[in-house]
Amino acid sequence: MAEPSAFIVTRNLRKTFVMGRTRVHALAGIDLDIPEGTFTVIMGPSGSGKSTLLYLIGGLDRPTSGTLLVNGQDLNMLDENALAVYRRNTVGFVFQQFNLITSMTALENAAFPMRFAGIPGKERAQRARKLLELVGLETHLRHRPVEMSGGQQQRVAIARALINNPRLILADEPTGNLDTTTGFGIMQLLSNLHRDGRTVVVVTHDPRMLRFATHVLYLLDGRLVSREEYEASIQTEPTG
């Protein structure tokens, strides 16, 4: 599986949390290569470290040890400022909780990241409107999150993730708070992004999402495992 030109490369990636006196190895040595333009689904029960892995790739947290390259850039070498610029320009996040700002309209929420990129207001509004049309919310531009359904909110979040035109979309349980039909719609949207040439990494524990994936990674207790190993484990100890 080692492709030298892979978009995301990790080698012996570890993340250890200290909880009181015990150390929890959230990631216990991950080696993976995710090629550019793929739709990768990371499967794993809760507590398997899949979200931790996603946040490390997204530069929202730093690994305890190991190598982490995205687009040839060693994230360990970036200072806080450069990491913020990396998140701004290279990554678009989609969260389970949507994380919209409740007092802002759909348009304002979608355009929000561009403020930190120093882009003028007019241009921000134009691009946000275009992206909201793309996710099918052209009639909801002035709606606030409370006035929208979960699926609509997640669409706003996807528009926001796309606003700075990132090459990498990271989604943490994007369908976790949605019913099945709505969830499929969201996955379809993410899949379209992949088809446009973006690299998409989605973390989920819902096997129904696998049909969209070009690559699947199984994570158990902070380690990458084979599909068989994963399924055997799921059957013996079911998780929620």
Partner 1 sequence: MRLFDLLALIFYNLSRRKGRVALTAIGVVIGTAAVVLLVALATGLQRNATRNFAGITDLTMVQVYPKYGGEGNIMMAKPGGGAEQPSQTKLLTTQAIQELAGLEGVQMVIPRDSLRWPGRVKVGKLEAYPYVFAVDTEDLSVMGYELLDGTLKLERGTALIGESVAKSFNDPNWRPGQPQPEQPQLLGQQVRFILTRWTQEGTTVEKTIPLRIVGILKQKMGETDYAMVVRMDDLTAWNEWGNGKRINRNKEGYEMVMVKAKDSRDVTKLADTINNLGYQASTPMEFVQGINNFYTIIQIVFGGIGAIALLVAAIGIANTMTMAILERTREIGLMKAIGATNRNVMTIFLGEAAGIGLIGGLGGVLLAWGLAQVVNVLAAGYLASQAAMMGGQEAGQAAYIAPWLPLFALAFSTLVGLVSGLYPALRAATMVPVLALKYE
Using CB under 8 A, list all residues that contact partner 1.
Answer: 55, 58, 60-61, 80-81, 84-85, 87-89, 93, 95, 97, 99, 101, 103, 112-113, 115-118, 120-121, 160, 164
CB of 52 to partner 1, least distance (A): 8
What is the rounded distance in angstroms from the CA atom of residue 32 to the CA atom of residue 199? 15
CB of 121 to partner 1, least distance (A): 7
Q: Which is nearer to partner 1, 4 or 20 (CB)?
A: 20
Q: Which two tokens stand for residue 26?
A: 């959230």
Q: Which is nearer to partner 1, 8 or 225 (CB)?
A: 8
**What residues are paired with 199 via a beta bridge?**
168
Q: Which is nearer to partner 1, 51 or 233 (CB)?
A: 51
CB of 114 to partner 1, least distance (A): 9
| DSSP designation for 137 | -
- Sheet arrangement for strand 65-70: 22-34, 8-19, 65-70, 73-74
What is the rounded distance in angstroms from the CA atom of residue 159 to the CA atom of residue 109? 9
Q: Which is nearer to partner 1, 105 or 233 (CB)?
A: 105
CB of 35 to partner 1, least distance (A): 24
**Locus of tokens 């019913």:** 179
| DSSP designation for 129 | H
Query: Largest Cα–Cα distance of the chain, in whole Å?
Result: 56
SS3 31: strand
Find out whether 63 and 9 touch, Cβ atoms under 8 Å: no
Q: Which is nearer to partner 1, 81 or 235 (CB)?
A: 81
Q: Which two tokens stand for residue 71?
A: 């687009």
CB of 210 to partner 1, least distance (A): 26
